[in-house]
Amino acid sequence: MNSISNKQHRVLSGMRPTGALHLGHYHGVLKNWIKLQHEYECYFFVADWHALTTHYEDSQIIQDSVWDMVIDWLAVGVNPGSATLFIQSRVPEHAELHLLLSMMTPLSWLERVPSYKDQQLKLKERDLSTYGFLGYPLLQSADILMYKAGLVPVGEDQVAHVELTREVARRFNHLYGREPGFEQRAEEAVKKMGKKNAKLYNNLRKAYQEQGDAEALDKARALLETQQNITLGDKERLFGYLEGGGRIILPEPESLLTPASKMPGLDGQKMSKSYGNIISLREDPDQVEKKLRTMPTDPARVRKTDPGTPEKCPVWNLHQVYSDEETCHWVQEGCRSAGIGCIECKGPIIDAVRKELEPIHQRAQEFEADHEQVRNIINEGSERARDVAKQTITEVRQVMGLDYS
Ligand code: TRP
Ligand code: SF4
C-alpha cells in the first residue's frame, strides 16, 4: 500500500558534481527542475558525498565542479527564490541519518540494488568494492527521507534507489513508529482537531478501513495536511492510524520519472561525458560549430550525390529536438533526394544550439563575476535545508531512544 508523505508537495533531487554540465543535463534534468520549482516546494542539492563514493581517488574533480555546477543551474534558470539550493556536506545531518538508517537496513537490500553490480562492471577502472559505494543508495535514502519529500524526480536508473528508500522508510516506521498506547494517543489526537474535523476524520477512516474507499483515504490525508492545531507527532500518528499502522515518522516517497531526454550525443548515443560526445553548457560558440560540423552523419552519404536516410543519422535526432516541422520536412526531402549536403543540413542545428546557449552563457558570466552572490545563495539554501534536517534528526533520535536531553 502506498503510504503517503505528509509533505507530498515537497520535491527533492540531487546531482553529482563530477564534471561540466552539458545539453543532455539541460534537456533531461534541468528543464524539468525549472518546471517543478513553480509547482512544488523544491530542494535541489549538490550530492558531493555521492560523488566521493565513486571519485574518492580523484576527488579534486568534485571541488572543481561544485561551483560550476551551481552556476550552471542558476544560468539555466533554476531560481533560488523558488527552490532551496544546497550542498549535501553542508548539512551533516545527512551523514547522521545515513548512519542511523544503516543500523536497520539489511545488507541484502543493498547488495541487490541493480546499480551496485552494474556500476562496478561498467566502471572497471575504479575500485568500487568499498563500504561507501555499497551504501550509496542508502545515503540517497537519507537525503530523501530527511526532507520527508513526497516526490523525487529521477531518471530510470535511479528508480530502484527510490524503491529502496520506500522499503527503508517502511521498516523504520514499523520499528520505531510503534509506541506504547498508540491507539489511545491517536484517539486523543483526533479530538484535538475539533469536533467537526474529528467527526469527518473518523468517518473517512472508517470508510477506508471498512470499505477500502481510496477516495476517503485521500480526503482524510488532505484534511490532516491542513491541520494547524496539532503537533507534528500527532499528525504522524493520525496518518498512521488512518491506515491501521503505527506512527509514520518517515513517509514513503515516490519517484517522479524524468522523461528520458531526447537529446542525443554527437555520435547518436546518449549524451554522456564518458562517451566523449557532449556539448557542454559553457562550450564557446566556435567550438559548438566545430563539434557539430564534424559530427558523423549517415555513413551511406559518402558523396553529396549519395542519398541518405535521416533515421540513420544522429543529426536527424538533433533536428527533432531543435527544428520546426518545416525544417524537418526540408531535411527529410533533401537527405533522401541528395538535394542538400550534410553541412547545409547541420546549419539550422548550429544556429539553434548557439542561440540556446547564448543567454545561458551570459548569465553564467554574470554569476562568475559575482561569486559572492553564488556563495550567498548556497549559504542561505544550506541554512534553510539544515533547519528542516535538524527537525527530522531530532525526531529520529527521539523515536530511536537517543534523546538524552
Ligand atoms: N544518485 C543520484 C544520481 O546519481 C544523485 C542523488 C543523490 C539523488 N541523492 C539523491 C537524486 C536524492 C535524487 C534524490 O543521479
Ligand atoms: Fe544526416 Fe542531414 Fe546528412 Fe541526411 S543530410 S545524412 S540527415 S546530416
pLDDT digits (tens, 9 = 90+) for 188-204: 999 999 999 999 999 99
| pLDDT surpasses 60 at 11 | yes
Q: How many Å apart are CA 96 and CA 230, to the nearest integer?
A: 28
| pLDDT surpasses 60 at 364 | yes
DSSP 402: -
In this structure, which ligand is nearest to the CA of 47? 1
SS3 86: strand
Kindly state the percentage of the chain with pLDDT values over 90. 84
Taking residues 366-388, report their average pLDDT.
Answer: 98
The two domains 5-177+255-261+371-400 and 282-368 share their CATH topology (first three levels equal): no
Q: How many Å apart are CA 279 and CA 292, to the nearest integer?
A: 9
Is residue 138 within 8 A of residue 105, CB to CB? The reply is yes
From the CA of 265, how far away is ligand 2's center (Å)? 15
| pLDDT reported for residue 6 | 44
| pLDDT surpasses 80 at 259 | no
Q: Residue 345, by phi and psi: left (phi above 0), alpha (psi -120 to 50) or beta?
A: alpha
| pLDDT reported for residue 50 | 97
CATH class of the domain at 5-177+255-261+371-400:
alpha beta
Cell of 288: 559548438
pLDDT band at 260, cuts 50/70/90? confident
Taking residues 87-115, report their average pLDDT.
Answer: 97
Is residue 283 within 8 A of residue 291, CB to CB? The reply is yes
Buried residues in 199-222 as b, exposed as e (16+ CB within 10 A)? eebeebbebbeeeebeebbebbbe
| pLDDT reported for residue 179 | 85
**Nearest-CA residue for atom 13 of ligand 1:** 13
Q: How many Å apart are CA 304 and CA 56, to the nearest integer?
A: 49
Taking residues 352-380, report their average pLDDT.
Answer: 98
Could you write out the DSSP letters of every residue in 187-219?
Answer: HHHHHHT-HHHHHHHHHHHHHHHHH--HHHHHH
pLDDT digits (tens, 9 = 90+) for 111-169: 999 988 888 888 888 999 999 999 999 999 999 999 999 999 998 889 999 999 999 99
Q: Is 345 in the pocket of ligand 2 (CB under 6 A)?
A: yes
pLDDT digits (tens, 9 = 90+) for 291-344: 999 999 999 999 999 999 999 999 999 999 999 999 999 999 999 999 999 999
From the CA of 119, how far away is ligand 1's center (Å)? 15
| pLDDT reported for residue 8 | 64
pLDDT band at 7, cuts 50/70/90? low
Cell of 183: 491507539
Q: How many Å apart are CA 240 and CA 217, to the nearest integer?
A: 11
| pLDDT surpasses 60 at 54 | yes
Q: Domain 282-368: which topology?
A: Tyrosyl-Transfer RNA Synthetase (1.10.240)
pLDDT band at 405, cuts 50/70/90? confident
| pLDDT reported for residue 57 | 93
| pLDDT surpasses 50 at 1 | no
Minimum-distance ligand 2 atom for the alpha carbon of 346: 8
Query: How many residues are there in the chain?
Result: 405
| pLDDT reported for residue 61 | 93
From the CA of 33, how far away is ligand 1's center (Å)? 13
In this structure, which ligand is nearest to the CA of 349? 2
From the CA of 137, how far away is ligand 1's center (Å)? 8
| pLDDT surpasses 60 at 186 | yes
**How many angstroms from the chain centroid is the CA of residue 2?**
20
| pLDDT surpasses 60 at 180 | yes
pLDDT band at 238, cuts 50/70/90? very high
| pLDDT reported for residue 4 | 43
| pLDDT reported for residue 281 | 97
Q: What angle do CA 247, 250, 256 make, to 5 degrees?
A: 130
| Per-domain residue ranges of the chain | 5-177+255-261+371-400, 182-242, 282-368
Cell of 253: 516517497
Closest CA to 331 of 304, 311, 355: 311
In this structure, which ligand is nearest to the CA of 50? 1
DSSP 12: E
From the CA of 327, how far away is ligand 2's center (Å)? 12
Letter for the amino acid at 99? L
Find the largest Cα–Cα distance for the chain.
83
User: In the predicted model, what is the mean pLDDT of the chain?
Assistant: 94
